[in-house]
Amino acid sequence: MSTDLPQSPSQPGVAERALDAAADVSRTIGEVAGGLHAAVDRLTSTIEESRKPGGALATVAAITREAPLSSLFVAFLFGVAVARRR
């Protein structure tokens, strides 16, 4: 006669659930980090393209070198306009 207890369906313990949750969080963080890395790469390439002669940043840099106080005043007015919208 066997005195084995009936086997209940295997339910994950607290430790196993914690490990699963940690693995899910780790995967999510990895996906977010990959997305951020791709976004930074795209932004970097866009900035590099706009710094080339004839690009938007190249033009702004040239104007700023020629008239720094006027550029500062325009930037200040732009900041005030943006701040008032909020």
Specify if 6 maps to a domain: no
Specify if 9 maps to a domain: no
Specify if 8 maps to a domain: no
List pLDDT tens digits, range 32-74: 999 999 999 999 999 999 999 999 889 988 988 998 898 899 9
Please count the structural domains in the chain.
Answer: 1
Specify if 51 maps to a domain: yes
Specify if 1 maps to a domain: no
The pTM (predicted TM-score) of the whole model is 0.51
Specify if 2 maps to a domain: no
List pLDDT tens digits, range 5-15: 555 556 668 88
Task: Give phi and psi for 34, each to the nearest 5.
Answer: -65, -40
CA 10, CA 68: separation in Å to the nearest integer? 72
Q: Which domain holds residue 33?
A: 15-85
Specify if 42 maps to a domain: yes
The two tokens of residue 18 are 């914690």
